[in-house]
Amino acid sequence: MAMLNYHHLRYFRAVATEGGLTKAARHLNLSQSALSVQLRNLEESLGQPLFERKRKSLVLTEAGRIALEYADTIFRCGEELTGLLQNRSGRSRSCLRVGAAANLSRNFQLAFLRPLIGREEVELVIHSGTLRELLAQLQAHTLDVVLSNTPVRRDAETGWYSHLLDEQPVSLVGHKTRRMKAFNFPEDLRTTPVVLPSLESSIRTAFDVLMEQAGIRPIIAAEVDDMAMLRLMARETKGVTLVPPVVVKDELENGTLVERHQFPQIKETFYAITPNRRYPNLILRELLAKKK
């Protein structure tokens, strides 16, 4: 087995960090051609291409992303060794990069990631954005998993896997009052304002179908595409809010809000979207195993 050349690994790390041969060569005080040769030698040693050229730029392959993680760990261990011998403590840590759709419940995200919180050997990096933005990062190997409330279509090019993590019932919630009467669904929605998720939401679509079947045009107080904002609106509105109870878990537990009506036929789903990779993140594998 060929021995790993740490000079080659250092050069590779510089190219990956600087984003290209030109900047890395300048940083390392090498010629671009010499750096290219060193990088090619490392790829031959590992038996895997570490970069692919896209639109005149170098993009890490999956093997390249794995190599970069190990390179970071190796050089960090070197720094820790120096620090340890100089009476400075340090410990190697593994990283899980999570993308969370902006409209996903923060309470659900916390519940999913809770087994990793507080583990000294694990570093969590969490990004929020649109599903399209996050899937692009997943494809570019800068994220390990995307959390979403909708699955994604799997095709030959992407090979996404949508792991169903949980499904939650959906309810109408509102403030508790002293002389509160039982909520008469759907008739009370003729006069009670309601805060709804935006039209892009699957639970909104199901709710609209029920209203159409009942012949009721509800009084819409607000439409919100962000679960954190939906939670705040539920606390502020004098009417009711259509929301998965997990979103307002704390408010339901302390009595600030109460369930007025539950929809057994409407479910909010939660998915972990992962790519088809030869080298899966071991922390993620452990986390998903807990959900089976």
Do the domains spanning 6-85 and 94-166+271-289 agree at the CATH topology level? no
Q: What is the pLDDT of residue 93?
A: 67
Kindly tell me if the per-residue pLDDT of 152 is higher than 80.
Answer: yes
Q: What is the pLDDT of residue 209?
A: 95
* CATH 3.40.190.290 is the classification of domain 168-267: yes
Q: Give the mean model confidence (pLDDT) for residues 262-281.
A: 87
For residue 93, the cross-strand partners are none
Kindly tell me if the per-residue pLDDT of 90 is higher than 60.
Answer: no
For residue 174, the cross-strand partners are 240, 258
Return d(Cα 265, Cα 260) in angstroms, integer.
16
CA distances (Å), origin 156, targets 138, 159, 275 = 16, 6, 11
Kindly tell me if the per-residue pLDDT of 99 is higher than 90.
Answer: yes
Q: What is the pLDDT of residue 226?
A: 86
118-129: b (≥16 Cβ within 10 Å) or e: eeeebeeeeebb
For residue 194, the cross-strand partners are 220, 240
* CATH 3.40.190.10 is the classification of domain 94-166+271-289: yes
* CATH 1.10.287.610 is the classification of domain 6-85: no
pLDDT tens digits for range 197-249: 998 888 999 999 999 999 999 999 999 988 889 999 999 998 999 999 989 99
Domain segments of the chain as ranges: 6-85, 94-166+271-289, 168-267
pLDDT-based confidence at 1, cuts 50/70/90?
very low
| pTM for the full predicted model | 0.67
